[in-house]
Amino acid sequence: MSKEINYRINKEITAPEVRIVGLEPAELNGIYPIEQALRMAEERGMDLVEIAPQANPPVCRIIEYSRLRFEQKKKAKEAKQKLHQIEVKEIRFRPHTDEHDLAFKVRHAENFLQEGNKIKATVFFRGRSIAHPEFGERLLREFAERLSHLAKVEVAPRLDGKNMTMVLAPLKPGKRSTGGKAGESSPSPSPKE
């Protein structure tokens, strides 16, 4: 949760005079001695809340303190919801992945990229297949080519032990593709059985 602001209220305010804002009618807004500002808040059955202590004189509002805290929490929650954290989704292949499986994984990758996530594509080699890393590189390049309308290669294919990895980043994070390109790039493979 975000850091909560602690406001000084009522008698906690030590300045000799304050600037009051947010009152209706607007003519009532202005600079008042602290005693008069406290009296105005009390007459309305509300609190005098110091919202900008660094100003000269400090800026205050006459509001219910509980309502102010509620509004603050609501704004913090909305800001947190708008913030999208980028995740790295991993998609794994074998060096001899067939066309149908590749198309299936491309469709999954498209969904991840449209959500604004990155893709880590990994080809894992077993046994003697490590002797032909070019098969894995060809597969990863084909995968990147099919997703070129949604992503760019952030880290080129590289061999690390028995795995070859590549990282794809979305072109427009968080934006959903609306158009023909997304559908065109992953045509349904012809049935090969």
Q: Are 19 and 57 in contact (CB under 8 A)?
A: yes
Average pLDDT rounded to a whole number, residues 123-127: 87
Q: 114 pLDDT exceeds 60?
A: yes
Q: 181 pLDDT exceeds 50?
A: no
Residue with tokens 């009618």: 25
Q: 109 pLDDT exceeds 80?
A: yes
- Mean confidence (pLDDT) of the chain: 80
Domains and CATH numbers, the chain: 8-82 (3.10.20.80), 88-185 (3.30.110.10)
**Taking CA 170 as the corner, what is the angle to CA 166 and CA 175, rounded to the nearest 5 degrees?**
160
CA-based torsion, 88, 92, 95, 99: positive or negative: negative
CB neighbour list of residue 11: distance below 8 Å, 6 or more residues apart: 38
pLDDT of residue 182: 41
pTM for this one? 0.47
**Which DSSP string corresponds to 137-157?**
HHHHHHHHHHTTTTEEEEEEE
Encoded tokens for 154: 């952030």
Give the model's confidence band at 12: pLDDT under 50 very low, under 70 low, under 90 confident, else very high. Answer: confident
- Encode pLDDT of 32-73 as tens digits: 888 888 888 888 888 888 888 888 888 888 888 888 888 888
161 residue type, one letter: G
Q: 175 pLDDT exceeds 70?
A: no
